[in-house]
């Protein structure tokens, strides 16, 4: 049986802040409102959940850009969101980068990099934009080789190395520093091997081909050990990279196959995150921090956040995350008070839209005759839905400006009614809320989803007469496009 060696890749973690890096953002299209959000490392680790800096631009401002200075831990991975778009920067000491933004372009060149390691940033940005397609070749290998697990691994290693080689080729002829090259390559390896580990775990757990033989189980275990030995899950540099959090998670899942975890170390108060207790302190601080951030930002119900926060304080009192969570808890307490004051802004019907409504047209004619509706089809368990709900305040403001009524229809099971109501209040989703009944769900599936599964989030826009103007509108994150749609929908008595 042929064995494959994964190339051992030595990563150098800089962990210094001697020289700041400068990023100059130039906004070339200021026709409409734009928001640039920056997510910089927290506690020296990658962060893509908590905004560190936000810059807003509107048509009334002449300012078309700003300068961002970074003097944190290096290498600094910075996520940047511009309306519906996002990209990622890799900052090294003393870098100067220019980012030209054209957010209204629907082409690949909406963001252009110049300055330090510009060609490397472009290559990495293009690679990220491939989305699921960057995993397609690995998936095809798994499918083609069927159950020849060692042969699969041999081919997978070749495929991943080929991707890295294409980046190396660019680095040879372009002005890309060695440190930038090493930083990006480490993230590529972790990203791709996360996917590989996940696929092998699925097979080992019998979810792909059913129960596997003892010999195959040994082969898969050996492969997982080889990957984890080559790219150690507890390496401090892992948490600097975007793929690090997921890689540690994959390690924990695979450990159940390789050797049992010590359940005595579990932190039971953290619910589904309790097994993070087996991690070394520096990794534990980041993993718990990221997880607790998710719970706060998404009004999660998996853990008691106040109890979890006190445990986190005891373990990591000097953590940047802890100081952020203190503010989050204050906001959560205030939010509860605000919602109680504004109960008249919420209408919650948990009876399956009065159990009789069969279509969106009927919903309009029964409850909202003469009103334009923006309808958000969502569910409490839907992560992409929650990501869009972060723009709820902005959508609420647009709705008032253009005299549009907001309607939220959840496809949650009626058993989740309490979670649904808690989320509406916790996320401050002011508007009209309904749980969809089975008849309405079937009509939605037939009319708008070609009798296939209902994919959410999905947004609808209806005119005053209940006619469907758009059955797949721009998402709330694309506020400019959403406002254009509202603006062009006819008379708007509230617009001055």
Inter-residue contact 254 to 224 (CB < 8 Å): yes
Residue 332 lies in a domain: no
Name the token pair of 449.
């989803």
Number of domains in the chain: 3
Inter-residue contact 376 to 343 (CB < 8 Å): no
Instruction: Say yes or no: 475 and 354 in one domain.
Output: yes
Instruction: Say yes or no: 481 and 437 in one domain.
Output: yes
Instruction: Say yes or no: 204 and 274 in one domain.
Output: yes
Instruction: Say yes or no: 177 and 282 in one domain.
Output: yes
Instruction: Say yes or no: 470 and 348 in one domain.
Output: yes
Instruction: Say yes or no: 91 and 187 in one domain.
Output: no
Instruction: Say yes or no: 116 and 188 in one domain.
Output: no
Residue 308 lies in a domain: no
Instruction: Say yes or no: 53 and 113 in one domain.
Output: yes
pLDDT confidence of residue 344: 47
Instruction: Say yes or no: 89 and 170 in one domain.
Output: no
Instruction: Say yes or no: 46 and 116 in one domain.
Output: yes
Instruction: Say yes or no: 271 and 380 in one domain.
Output: no
Residue 138 lies in a domain: yes
Edge-to-edge strand ranges of the sheet holding 21-27: 65-70, 21-27, 96-101, 111-115
Instruction: Say yes or no: 279 and 223 in one domain.
Output: yes
Edge-to-edge strand ranges of the sheet holding 431-435: 346-349, 431-435, 404-410, 372-378, 458-462, 468-470
The domain boundary, picked from 286, 308, 326, lies at 286
Inter-residue contact 79 to 88 (CB < 8 Å): yes
Distance of CA 395 to the CA centre of its chain: 20
CB-based contacts of 389, cutoff 8 Å, min separation 6: 378, 427, 429, 476
pLDDT confidence of residue 410: 93
pLDDT confidence of residue 288: 94
Residue 304 lies in a domain: no
Residue 11 lies in a domain: no
* CATH code, domain carrying 391: 3.40.30.10
* Distances, alpha carbon 493 to alpha carbons 367, 393, 401, in Å: 21, 21, 9
pLDDT confidence of residue 257: 78
The domain boundary, picked from 127, 157, 185, lies at 127
Residue 241 lies in a domain: yes
Domain containing residue 168: 133-286
CB-based contacts of 89, cutoff 8 Å, min separation 6: 23, 76, 77, 78, 80, 97, 99, 121
Per-residue pLDDT in tens (0 to 9) along the chain, 496 residues = 444 555 554 444 444 445 789 999 888 865 556 677 888 899 989 998 888 776 665 544 445 778 888 888 888 999 888 766 788 999 999 999 999 988 777 667 889 999 999 999 999 999 988 877 788 889 999 988 778 999 999 999 999 999 999 999 998 888 899 999 999 999 999 999 999 999 999 999 887 777 889 999 999 999 999 999 999 999 878 888 999 999 999 999 998 777 888 899 999 999 989 999 999 999 999 999 999 998 888 777 778 888 999 999 999 999 999 999 988 888 766 655 554 444 445 577 765 555 678 899 999 998 899 999 999 999 988 888 888 898 898 899 999 999 999 999 999 888 888 888 888 888 888 889 998 888 999 999 999 988 888 989 999 999 999 999 999 998 898 888 898 899 887 654 443 3
Inter-residue contact 77 to 46 (CB < 8 Å): yes
Residue 418 lies in a domain: yes
Provide the β-strand partners of residue 80.
Answer: 38, 87
pLDDT confidence of residue 164: 94
The domain boundary, picked from 286, 308, 332, lies at 286
Provide the β-strand partners of residue 110.
Answer: none
Residue 427 lies in a domain: yes
């Amino acid at each position: 049986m042929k064995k494959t060696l994964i190339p051992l890749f030595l990563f150098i973690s800089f962990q210094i802040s001697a020289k700041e890096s400068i990023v100059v953002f130039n906004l070339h299209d200021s026709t409409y409102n734009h928001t640039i959000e920056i997510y910089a490392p927290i506690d020296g680790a990658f962060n893509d959940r908590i905004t560190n800096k936000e810059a807003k631009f509107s048509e009334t401002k002449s300012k078309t850009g700003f300068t961002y200075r970074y003097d944190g831990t290096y290498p600094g991975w910075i996520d940047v969101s511009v309306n519906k778009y996002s990209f990622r920067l890799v900052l090294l000491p003393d870098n100067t980068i220019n980012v030209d933004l054209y957010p209204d372009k629907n082409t690949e060149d909406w963001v252009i990099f110049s300055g330090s390691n510009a060609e490397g940033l472009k290559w990495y940005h293009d690679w990220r934009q491939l989305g699921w397609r960057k995993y397609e070749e690995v998936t095809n290998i798994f499918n083609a080789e069927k159950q020849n697990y060692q042969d699969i691994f041999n081919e997978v290693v070749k495929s991943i190395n080929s991707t890295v080689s294409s980046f190396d080729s660019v680095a040879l002829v372009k002005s890309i520093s060695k440190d930038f090259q090493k930083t990006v390559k480490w993230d590529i390896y972790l990203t791709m091997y996360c996917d590989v580990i996940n696929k092998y775990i699925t097979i080992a757990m019998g979810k792909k081909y059913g129960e596997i033989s003892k010999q195959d189980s040994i082969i898969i275990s050996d492969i997982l050990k080889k990957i984890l030995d080559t790219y150690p899950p507890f390496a401090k540099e892992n948490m600097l990279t975007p793929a690090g959090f997921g890689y540690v998670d994959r390690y924990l899942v695979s450990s159940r196959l390789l050797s049992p975890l010590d359940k005595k170390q579990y932190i039971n108060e953290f619910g589904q995150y309790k097994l993070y207790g087996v991690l070394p302190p520096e990794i534990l601080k980041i993993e718990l921090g990221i997880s607790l951030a998710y719970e706060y930002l998404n009004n999660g119900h998996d853990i008691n956040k106040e109890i979890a926060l006190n445990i986190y304080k005891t373990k990591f009192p000097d953590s940047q995350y802890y100081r952020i969570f203190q503010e989050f808890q204050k906001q959560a307490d205030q939010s509860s008070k605000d919602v109680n004051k504004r109960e008249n802004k919420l209408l919650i019907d948990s009876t399956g839209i009065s159990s009789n409504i069969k279509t969106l047209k009927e919903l309009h004619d029964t409850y909202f005759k003469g009103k334009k509706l923006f309808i958000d089809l969502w569910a409490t368990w839907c992560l992409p839905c929650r990501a869009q709900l972060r723009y709820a305040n902005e959508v609420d403001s647009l709705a008032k400006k253009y005299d549009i009524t907001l309607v939220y229809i959840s496809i949650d099971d009626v058993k989740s009614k309490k979670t649904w109501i808690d989320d509406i209040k916790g996320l401050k989703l002011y508007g009209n809320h309904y749980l969809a009944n089975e008849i309405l769900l079937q009509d939605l599936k037939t009319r708008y989803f070609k009798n296939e599964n209902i994919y959410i989030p999905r947004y609808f826009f209806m005119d005053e007469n209940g006619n469907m103007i758009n059955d797949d509108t721009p998402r709330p994150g694309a506020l400019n496009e959403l406002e254009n749609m509202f603006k062009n929908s006819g008379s708007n008595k509230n617009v001055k």
